[in-house]
Every structure is written in C-alpha cells, then in structure tokens.
Amino acid sequence: MNIRWLGHSAFRIDTAKAKILIDPFFTGNPAFDESTRKDAVAGVTTILLTHGHGDHVGDTVQIAAETGATVVANADLAAWLGSKGVKALEMGNTGGTIHLDGFSTTFVNALHSSAQITEDGVSHSLGNANGLVLHFEDEPTLYHMGDTDIFSDMALIEELHQPQIGLVPIGDRFTMGGAVAALACQRYFNFQTVLPCHYGSFPIIAQTPDTFVTAMDGVSTRVETPAVGGTVTL
C-alpha cells in the first residue's frame, strides 16, 4: 500500500486493486502543488468523502468527470453531488458499509459539521460528518478520521475495526489539536502507523506537526510526516 499526502486532508491510496482519493481538495489549497495534479488523479477508481465542506469535497466533481471514478459519500452529500452532474455515486451513512472492488468503506462518527453555502448565501446541510474505515483484502485496515475532535466512542471504532493505520487531523481550531490528537491515538487505538493531516495549509491552523510528534514520542506507533506530495509505503 502506498499512501500519498496531497496536503490538508487529501490523500491518495494505491493498492493492488484500487486507486483511491480521499477528500481531494486541490484548487484553492495553499499547500497543494498544482503541477502534480495530473499525476495525483491518474487512474483513480474511487473518490471517498468524509463530509461536505469545500476543503474536503474540493475538486470531486471535476475529477469524477475526468476519470469516471465512483464517488462515495453520505446520502445527503451524494444527492447534492448528483445534482452537480456526478454520475457514479455510492451513498451510505453512519454505521453503514459499502463494498467496492478490493476494499470496503464504513462510515463512522466524527464530531464536526457538514454544509456548503451557495452563491445566494444560503447554507445547505450536507449530512453528518464522518470518519471512514477502509478494509482491504490483503492490506492493513486504514481509518481516515475526517475532521473531528476526540470522543470516547473512538474506543468502539477500535473494537469493531482494529485499524492499523490512522490518518489523523491535528490542526486545531476546526479539529482537535496535536496534543489532543495524540491522546486519541494513544488512549483509544493500537495503530501501527499514523499520518497527521489538516495542518500546514491555511494560516489559522497549525503549520507543523511538531506538537503531535512530540506528544507521540515514546510510544510504539510509527509516526510518518511526509512532505506534501510525499508517499509512505506500508
């Protein structure tokens, strides 16, 4: 499995059977190198969305049109994307699992909001925010937490899914900060590897992973902090 961080909360996951984008926020993402866009979307089979905010939906409509990738999102967000012209959609909701070629995606809780404001100034609710747990046939289980604070039912996510890889928001202000994210990883999970995200993009959130890395010091979990565009192979 290759995990490529594309800035903010965007990741590309490549396995033997699937090429997955999660929360592909490229246009308007200060951390994303637009010159790498073609490579980032090449051959994508599936786009997974944690929630409906613009910095997570990102370029989904355009990428889906370019690649024919199937978009997976909660029911409200999927319906909204359908109205924007997305054809290949798989919708679910919290607690549900969608089975795709080579892996499945389960929607789990996240403590956050999910909406977009249209040009007329109206805010449209786009369902509940979620984390996503990906189970693969021959690869470690991966949990993208989405945007969230710590919550005690993370213990149930660990009990039900035993994720080995965590993609963890650490930026503070809109999600938990680095120290609290480290507490979540240590108290509720037995991750083998974690990659922090949702930092280093907008100036009002954390610019480095240092607080998280320091708070994870001394634990057995491997912490990977690739540069934007960098790949971790597991």
Long-range (24+ apart) CB contacts under 8 A made by 94-100 are: 94/128, 94/130, 98/72, 100/18, 100/46, 100/70, 100/72
Name the one residue in this structure whose structure tokens are 């604070």. 149
51-81 pLDDT, tens digit each: 999 999 999 999 999 999 999 999 999 999 9
For residues 6 and 200, give the distance between their C-alpha atoms in angstroms, rounded to a whole number. 11
Q: Give percent above pLDDT 90 in the chain.
A: 95
Q: With a threshold of 0.95, does the pTM exceed it?
A: yes
CATH of the domain spanning 2-227, picked from 3.30.70.60, 3.30.43.10, 3.60.15.10, 1.10.357.10: 3.60.15.10
For residues 47 and 208, give the distance between their C-alpha atoms in angstroms, rounded to a whole number. 27
Over residues 165-177, mean pLDDT: 98
221 token code pair = 């979990």
Give the length of the chain: 234
- Domain residue ranges of the chain, discontinuous segments joined by +: 2-227
- Helix, strand or coil for residue 22? strand
pLDDT value at position 123? 87
Express the helix, strand and coil content of the chain in percent, nearest 5 each.
25, 30, 50
